[in-house]
Chains A and B, each alone.
Chain A
Amino acid sequence: MATVRPFSRDQRTTIIYGMLAFVIVIVVLQLWLLTATMNAYLGGDQRVIVPAALVSAVGCALNVGLLGYVRRMERVSRE
């Protein structure tokens, strides 16, 4: 049976920094997407609304997945 070796605190801090970089990029992308979609909606352009929402939802799912990984990592470290 394989043994799961928990990460040390320094390793976890490094992992958090890496994840933060991803999350910040995704949130900035989502923010830009929301302003662009709002501009299109107010200008009467309906074509981009649903694709933009789908991309934003994928970004949100990625972020939630990364947060789930952090929670699992902490659970393994506590055990």
Chain B
Amino acid sequence: MAEQPGDSGSLNIYVRRRERESITTAPNRSPDDQQPAWREDFPIDWPQDQYVERRDFMKFLVLTSAALTVGQVWIIGQNWLRRRRGLPEVRRVASLSEIPTGASLVFQYPGELDNCVLIRLSERDLVAYSQKCTHLSCAVIPEPGQGVLRCPCHDGYFDLRSGDPKAGPPRRPLPRITLDVRGQDIYATGVEMRTT
């Protein structure tokens, strides 16, 4: 209970005194009689407003922190699902006669929606990569003449021989599709994901 004006005759030590800093002051720190008239219409308790704003911002940040932790748990779940799926099956992609030197071929591996690109660099030299750019998943286009795979969305470049990023926004290499040549047939045997 706040001390009332006029009670000063008998000072009651058990009555909680009002803290000086909890008395509302206008932002310009002038006394009440020097405040503009409009201030009476907007009697905002600025120190209290500031306190509540910071406290609510802290609550929002704690909620953000919880959301980020949920994101980490989601990654654990996705990783568990990926491990459960196991290794992809070996699948025939094409025959050597279908792809001349310097040419490329789009195929799907390991899923029906996972586009990959097979490039024949020389007579016995074949490479295959996932066609999804590691930046924002646009389809990369092989340019054997320049020795690169180009992502047209943001001008990202990958090395044709290694799949490593050469220029532009991508930071991770393209997932490499491991290949096996059996006679005249080319088989995809797995996906090699890399961070560097």
Contacts and interface: CB of A to CB of B under 8 A. Distances in A.
B51 interface: yes
Interface residues of A, number: 40
Contacts, number: 110
B112 interface: no
Determine the interface band of chain B, counting residues with CB < 8 A from chain A. 35 or more
Given A8-B21, A9-B47, A12-B51, A60 B66 contact: yes
Contacts of A44: 175, 192-195
A17 B54 CA distance: 7
A41 B54 contact: no
Nearest to B83: A46
Interface string B42-59: 000001101100110111
Interface in B143-196: 171-172, 175, 192-196
B58 A16 contact: yes
A44 B173 CA distance: 11
B65 A13 contact: no
Nearest to B48: A9
B86 to A, nearest CB: 14
Contact of B62 (A23, A33, A37): A23
A4 interface: no
